Amino acid sequence: MEVSTADLAEILGVSARRVQQLSGARVFRKLSHGEWLLPECVQAYIEHKVKSETARQDRSDLKGADRLKDIKTRREELKLAREERELVPLVDAIFAMDRVAGEVALQVNNVPARFTRDLDERERLQVQIDDALQSVADRIAECGAALRADRDADPPAEEDDA
């Protein structure tokens, strides 16, 4: 059964332009100008669609395999960075900050006693030291909270437009 380009397009649910493209790609064989053998074209179209879908699925599977390979590679890179001590677990980093801050506080709190025997002067110094240590403790708490929330612990300061 012979059909026109318009009829073939309507039967296959594509445009007449698409019929011409498929003919150019040698999916369809033209009988004469604008005439097509319907059963042959339908079979060829089905075969073309199956091949296209299979190729698309193969590419999709390949992408999934590549993604899995990338994930495994990244996992190995992180493992190596941890072993080389280039990467430190968050809990260890926060513990180290706390430990250093504790040592700083211990040493700085001994300064007034080493500085003067005058108790009033020691008390004045201690107030200043306590304020400084509180500032350090607040900053450590901010950094720890930012790191736990997966934010930058030291965001860039806003520029002054004045």
Q: How far apart are alpha carbons 125 and 112 in whole angstroms?
A: 6
Q: What is the pLDDT of residues 15-71, one digit of tens each?
A: 989 888 888 888 888 888 888 888 898 999 889 888 888 877 777 666 777 778 888
The one-letter amino acid at 26: R
Which range, of 11-25, 61-75, 117-131, averages the lowest pLDDT? 61-75
Highest mean pLDDT: which range of 85-89, 112-116, 123-127: 123-127
pTM for this predicted structure = 0.43
Which residue type sits at 54?
T
R_g of the chain computed on alpha carbons: 37
Mean pLDDT of the chain: 84
Cα–Cα dist 58/82, whole Å: 36
Domain ranges of the chain: 2-52, 88-148
- Contacts of 19 by beta carbon, 8 Å cutoff, 6+ apart: 5, 8, 9, 12, 28, 36
Helices (H), 110-152: 111-115, 119-148
In the structure, what pLDDT confidence band is assigned to residue 124 with cuts at 50, 70 and 90?
very high
